[in-house]
Structure 1
Amino acid sequence: MFKDPFARLLRVLLSIALLSVPASVFAEAAEIKVAQQYGIGYLPLMIMEEQKLIEKYAKENGVDVTVGWAKFAGGNVMNDALLSNSLQFASGGVGPFLTLWSRTRGSLDVKAVSAINSMPLYLNTRNPNVRTIKDFRDTDKIALPAVKVSIQAVTLQMAAEKAFGEGQQNRLDALTVSLSHPDAQAALLSGQSEITAHFSSPPFQYQQLKNPAIHTVLNSYDVLGGPATFNVVWTTTRFRSENPRLYDAFVRALDEATALINRDRKWAAEAYLRLSKDKDSVQEILAMLNDPSIVYTTTPQNVMKYVDFMLKIGAIKVRPESWKDLFFPNAHGLPGS
C-alpha cells in the first residue's frame, strides 16, 4: 500500500525531536512543600501528612514525590513563602487567601484548591468589663494570627463596622497583636500578659472557656449571619499547570482525609491528639468534632461575604463574579457560596 513519504519523514523528525528533549521537561516536581497552621481546622492536612496520602495518589498518577510540611503562625508569612516558590500549597483563613488572589491576578494567578472546613471563631477575653466589642479600651490587647490580614482580623473589622458604624472598620485594629494561637492562649490564660483577649479557633477557644475567668465576646457566625468557611488551601496557576498529576494527587488526598474524619469522629479525635500532642482528652476533642457547627467539607460556604467586605474597604481591588472565580475547576461542581 502506498504511503506518503513526506508524512513518514515528518513522523521520523518528530520522534527525533521528542527524543532529544530532556526528560526533565516532562517531569513534575520531585519535591513539594505544604503548609498548615495550628488547631483542629487543619486536621485533614495532619492526616494527609501522617498517612502520606499525597505520595500515595501521586504514585498512582505515575509521580514519585517527596512532600515536606511546614507550620506557620499566620497567612501573611505563608503568602510570602508561596510567592517565593519555597511553598507550593498554602492553607489558612479566607482573608489571607483573598488578599493574595487579588494581588496576583494577571501574574501568578493564585486560586483556591479547596475549602477545608466551616467553623465558628470566638473572640474570648479575660477582662470582666468587656461584654461587647464596644467595651474594649486602649489598655486591652487582642491577639490574632496576623494583624489586618488574618480571617480573625477581617472578621473583627466587619464586627467593628457593625458596632461603630460605616467607615469604622479599623476602630479596633490598634489593639490587635500578631501571635500564634498557642502563644496567644498561653498569654491570655497566664493573667500576667498585656494580652486580654484572643480571637481564636477550635480547639483553643473551647479550652480557654474551661477557665471561669474567660468569656466569649464575639462569634464569627453571628457577624456573618450564619456558617462560613474558615480554612481553604491555595496555590498558583503555574504550579497547577506544570504539575497536573501532583495537583490531582493533592485534591484526592484531601478528599480521602476529609472522608476519614467524617466517617469516624472518635478515630479523628484520637488522631488529632496523637499528631498535635495536645493535652485534652479524647472525649473533649470528640465533643468539639461532634459540634454541629464544626463541619469538615471541601465545599466553600459564604466566602463571598468576605469578598464584598474586603472590596468595600479596599483590601482587594476587584470583585469576582462568583465564588467559582476564586477556585480552580475541580471545585466548580460543588454547591458553594
Structure 2
Amino acid sequence: MNHRTGVALLTLALVCMTGPTAAETGELRFAKQTSMGYVQFNILERQKLIEKHARALGLGEVKVSWVTFNGPDAMNTALLAGDVDIVAGGVPALVTLWAKTRGTAQEVRGISALSSQPFLLNTRNPNVKTIRDFTDASRIAVPAVGVSVQAVTLRMAAAQAFGKENYAKLDRLTIALPPPDATIGLLSRGSAFDSAFSVPPFQTQQLQDPAIHTVLNSFDVLGGSHSFTVAWTSRKFHDDNPKLYRALLDALAEATDVLNADKRAAAMLWIEDSKSKLAPELVVSVIGGPQVKWTLVPENTMKYASFMYDVGIVKAVPATWKDLFFPEIHGVAGN
C-alpha cells in the first residue's frame, strides 16, 4: 500500500466514525522496546508528527511521552493498568492480550503494523545446522521465555520439525536475556549460552563474527514475510479519543512515508536516539535490507494467532485478522 493513499484511507474511515465527543485526553503515552522495529517512533518523536496532526484536527497542544521496556509482559501490564496508551511489540504479545481482554472493559486491539522483517536464530556452535541439531547442552537466549515473538516462533519451528504435540520441545533450552546482552554474550564466546534468537540490528551485528551463522530465519517458519512489529491500544483509549486516534494514525502513515523516502536519514536518526555505537553502514543495511518492509499493513498475523490457539497458548482465536485490529486499518490488504 502506498502510505499517502493509506493516510487518505485512514482519514476517511475516521471521519466516518467520528461524531460529537467529550473532551479528549491532552497526553499520549507510548511504550516501546529496544530494537529496530520501531523506527517510525523515532521519527514521530523527532519531527513531532503527532503534535502536528493533533493541531490540524483542532486538538491544540498534545503532550507526547515515551517509556522504554525490555519485554512484552511489562508493557502490557502498564497498558492494562492505564499507565501507557500505545504499546508496540511482536504479534504474539498482541494476540495474547486480545484473547485475554476481548469482550471486557479492558479490551485491546491492534492499531496497525509497523514493519515486516525477519528475526534470526544465530549460533556459534558449528555442529548446529538446523534446530534438530540442538542438544541438552545447548542454550538459546530469547528476549522472554515462552512469550516473546522469538520464543513463540521457536515453538512453531519445533512443531514443524518434531510434530505439533512437541511444540515446547526446545523450551528447556531457552534463557531470558535482552538482545543487547545476548549479543555481547554470543560475541564474547565465554557466556553460558551458544545461540541467540534476537532482533535487528543485533542479529546482524552477531553475524559480523565469521564464527557465528544462522540456524533459522523466521520467514521460513511463517512461510513468507510477516509483521515483526505492530502497535496496539485499549478500546477505551480508541473510543474516548477519536480525533487523537486519527492524529496517531495519520502521523504513523506520514512517519512511514518519511522513513521509506530516506532510509539513510532514518538510520542516522535511530543511531542518535538509541545512542548506538554500531557502524552507520550496518544500520543502513538493516533498515534497507532486502527482506525488510516498513509498512502499516499487517502480514501473516493469523498464522501466529492460529498456532497459539491450536496448541493452547491462548483460549480464543480471531476469525480473521480484522478481528485483531481496530476498524480504521481494515481497508488495507492485511492477513
TM-score, normalising length: structure 2: 0.90
Partner Cα separation in structure 1 for residue 185 and residue 48 of structure 2? 35
Aligned partner of 2:90 among 93, 118, 127: 93
Counterpart of 1:233, as a letter, is A
Q: Describe the superposition over 1:85-112 as per-residue Cα deviations: whole angstroms up to 9, x where unpaired.
A: 1011000000111000000011122000
Partner of 1:7: none
Partner Cα separation in structure 1 for residue 302 and residue 22 of structure 2? 38
- Secondary structure in 2 matching 1:54: helix
Aligned partner of 2:78 among 75, 81, 89: 81
Counterpart of 1:111, as a letter, is R
Partner of 1:8: none
Partner Cα separation in structure 2 for residue 246 and residue 176 of structure 1? 41
Between the aligned residues of both structures, percent identity stands at 48
Partner of 1:61: 57
Q: Which stretch of structure 1 is more off in the superposition, 281-290 or 220-229?
A: 281-290
Partner Cα separation in structure 1 for residue 124 and residue 277 of structure 2? 22
Runs of 5+ consecutive residues of structure 1 not aligned to the other structure:
1-24
Counterpart of 1:56, as a letter, is K
- Secondary structure in 2 matching 1:170: coil
Query: 1:174 offset after TM fit, Å?
Result: 1.4
Query: 1:146 offset after TM fit, Å?
Result: 1.5
- Secondary structure in 2 matching 1:255: helix
Partner Cα separation in structure 2 for residue 153 and residue 37 of structure 1? 16
Aligned residues: 313
Query: 1:272 offset after TM fit, Å?
Result: 1.7
Partner Cα separation in structure 1 for residue 144 and residue 41 of structure 2? 21
Partner Cα separation in structure 1 for residue 82 and residue 279 of structure 2? 38
- Secondary structure in 2 matching 1:320: coil
8 Å Cα contact 1:73-1:179 kept in structure 2: no
Partner of 1:248: 246
- Secondary structure in 2 matching 1:33: strand
Query: 1:61 offset after TM fit, Å?
Result: 2.1
- Secondary structure in 2 matching 1:85: coil
Of structures 1 and 2, the one scoring higher in RCO (CA 8 A, sep 6+) is 2
Aligned residue runs from structure 1 range 264-283, under 5 A:
264-283=262-281
After superposition, the CA RMSD in angstroms is: 1.3
8 Å Cα contact 2:164-2:311 kept in structure 1: no
Partner of 2:14: none
- Secondary structure in 1 matching 2:306: helix
Query: 1:165 offset after TM fit, Å?
Result: 1.6
Aligned partner of 1:323 among 321, 325, 328: 321
Partner of 1:4: none
Aligned partner of 2:34 among 27, 38, 50: 38
8 Å Cα contact 1:140-1:194 kept in structure 2: no
Counterpart of 1:87, as a letter, is V
Partner of 2:202: 204
Aligned residue runs from structure 1 range 1-337, under 5 A:
26-63=22-59, 64-107=61-104, 108-337=106-335
- Secondary structure in 2 matching 1:79: helix
Partner of 1:21: none
- Secondary structure in 1 matching 2:296: coil
Partner Cα separation in structure 2 for residue 31 and residue 183 of structure 1? 33
Partner Cα separation in structure 1 for residue 46 and residue 142 of structure 2? 28
Counterpart of 1:190, as a letter, is S
Q: Which stretch of structure 1 is more off in the superposition, 93-102 or 48-57?
A: 48-57
Partner Cα separation in structure 2 for residue 322 and residue 180 of structure 1? 32
TM-score, normalising length: structure 1: 0.90
